[in-house]
Amino acid sequence: MEVADRNAALNGREIEWIEANAFDLLRDSADAGRRFDTIVLDPPAFAKSKKTLDTALRGYKELNLRALKMLRPGGTLITCSCSYHISLADFMQVVADSARDMHRTLRVFETRSQARDHPILLAVPETAYLKCLIAGVSY
């Protein structure tokens, strides 16, 4: 965050960085009527096994619903999943369902995966675990 602060200052931008339990922060912020231009969701793995898949999908949906509620029109949602057991298609569906429930339109700018220092090994499918969507939000 220190590097990001320096970068923001170099670009003449003021950014409020918040690090917290996402469920609590998003609930409290939504209740307080707070709005943001950008929200980054990067929770820990919710689905550590196939048995927890349904619970994990509900957790991702809840986080994305709350974030979408607080994004200003034209805002940016950056949402991630590092759960190997959740496919990119399933993750995109959860995010799309969240947007539909909130009456928001999402336009995906980019999909990303993990950085080069966490390579995907073709013989080890579990190494392809990170899904990241960068999307613009409109009402």
Is 62 within 8 Å of 23 (Cβ atoms)? yes
Which residue among 82, 96, 120, 128 is the active-site one?
82
Please, which residues have CB within 8 angstroms of residue 95's CB and are 6 or more apart in sequence? 60, 64, 77, 79, 106, 133, 135
- Residue 132 known to be catalytic: no
- Residue-wise over 91-115: b if at least 16 C-beta within 10 A, else e? bbebbeebbeebebebeeeeeeebe
d(CA 98, CA 91): 11
Question: Which region, left, alpha or beta, applies to residue 95 given φ > 0 means left and ψ of -120 to 50 means alpha?
Answer: alpha
**What six digits make up the tokens of 25?**
């922060």
List the catalytic residues: 82
